[in-house]
A and B are shown apart, each in its own frame.
Chain A
Amino acid sequence: LTLQESLLLKSLGLSAKPSPKTPVPVPSVLWRIFQKRKTLPSTKKDLADACRVEEFNVPGNIIRVLADRGHFVHNGQPQRLLCLQKRLYFNLSVLEEGERLTMAQLEIKFSHNSYHTSGQGQVFELRLYQTSQISLRGMPPNEHSRKLLVEQSFAQLHKSLLFNLSGVAKDWRTYSMNLGLILEISVSGRDGASAPMSGELQSLCASIDSFLDTSLLVVTLSQQQCKASRRRR
């Protein structure tokens, strides 16, 4: 790097020039925010607070969408009532030291909405567990080393499910504490309804096949770049 380039990168808060290997599509949420700010009239631009993300109403000047680096715990045949069990892992070591995390939102995406045929009486149950122990790839996690974070049931699985993980994500800044999450989606009978038979289970779980991926949207505030700005005339 030339001296000028490294100084310019530094002024942009970057310690080095990034070198992406497999660029991914730009998440629509980021593109929308970018376009909205770009099209602001200049008279409004300097009024817009670059150190606040008004779309999420939190302080911040850096928004990242982190890809999930976890793996499925089991694939293929649903077990018990379980349709999907996946370890989620987001590498938060990309956050620079002077950044304060102000929000973390998990998004679970499906390629389409999934509806039960009516009258079947079954619901999807989604659970997110925080794990305190790492298990080998493909091995089910140790039941005792996990803490239930979220438990929700859905009659229909929507295309996109959002969960606020700001509290948990703050702990993940410490590398050794970041053991990810376990996501489980199962099918259960509604109150009183009978549990699905295994064949039925297979077909109900099939709608989970529309599972696409998970990502974590993280908002941080760079203390260096969001100091109190100089008094304006």
Chain B
Amino acid sequence: SAHYPPVTLSNLCKPRRLYISFSDVGWENWIIAPQGYMANYCLGECPFPLTAELNSTNHAILQTMVHSLDPEGTPQPCCVPVRLSPISILYYDNNDNVVLRHYEDMVVDECGC
């Protein structure tokens, strides 16, 4: 009989667009490519009941249930990246050598609770 506050689709846990521009941080003279990239981030609610789309762990399902019963005592589960992909950056080092470097887990593709 617990009360379920209405949750609109838009504030459910999901990736949000975030573009990182290297020229904004003044790195355009040593980064050759890319000029920036879509990093995204996770934001949104993990409400009870957790639907399958929310990519949740079993523990998160448990925590939402407890939160629905005792909202003050137990917070909602977090909305975090669950699938990420790498990017590559081409840049000049201090000795004018060209370096191609791969970085894992730089783009948020999917979020989950």
Residues on A close to B: CB < 8 A?
5, 8, 12-13, 16-24, 26-27, 30-31, 33-34, 37-38, 42, 45-46, 48, 50-51, 61-67, 91, 94, 225-226, 229, 232-233
Contacts and interface: CB of A to CB of B under 8 A. Distances in A.
A226 B25 CA distance: 26
B100 A22 contact: no
Contacts of A27: 98
Contact of A61 (B32, B98, B101): B101
Nearest to A226: B104
Given A18-B92, A20-B29, A64 B83 contact: no
Given A18-B91, A20-B92, A48-B86, 9 more contacts: A5-B25, A19-B29, A23-B96, A26-B32, A27-B98, A38-B34, A50-B103, A63-B99, A225-B104
Contacts of A63: 99-101
Contacts of A19: 29-30, 94
Nearest to B93: A18
A75 to B, nearest CB: 24
A22 to B, nearest CB: 6
A91 B96 CA distance: 11
A50 B30 contact: no
B84 A65 contact: no
Nearest to A23: B92
B92 A64 contact: no
A38 B88 contact: yes
Given A18-B92, A42-B109, A232-B82, A65 B98 contact: yes
A interface SS class: loop
A20 B94 contact: yes
Interface residues of B, number: 36
Contacts of B51: none
B105 interface: yes
A51 B104 contact: yes
B90 interface: yes
Contacts of B74: none
Nearest to B30: A18
A50 B86 contact: yes
Contacts of B90: 26, 30-31, 34
B102 interface: yes
Contacts of A5: 25-26
Contact of B102 (A26, A37, A94): A37
A21 to B, nearest CB: 6
The 8 A-B residue pairs with the shortest CB-CB distance in the complex, in nearest-first order: A20-B92, A50-B86, A45-B85, A50-B102, A46-B85, A18-B30, A61-B102, A50-B104
Nearest to B26: A5
Interface in B56-113: 57, 82-86, 88-105, 107, 109, 112
A229 B102 contact: no
10 contacts: A17-B30, A20-B93, A24-B96, A38-B34, A45-B107, A46-B83, A61-B104, A63-B101, A226-B104, A229-B104
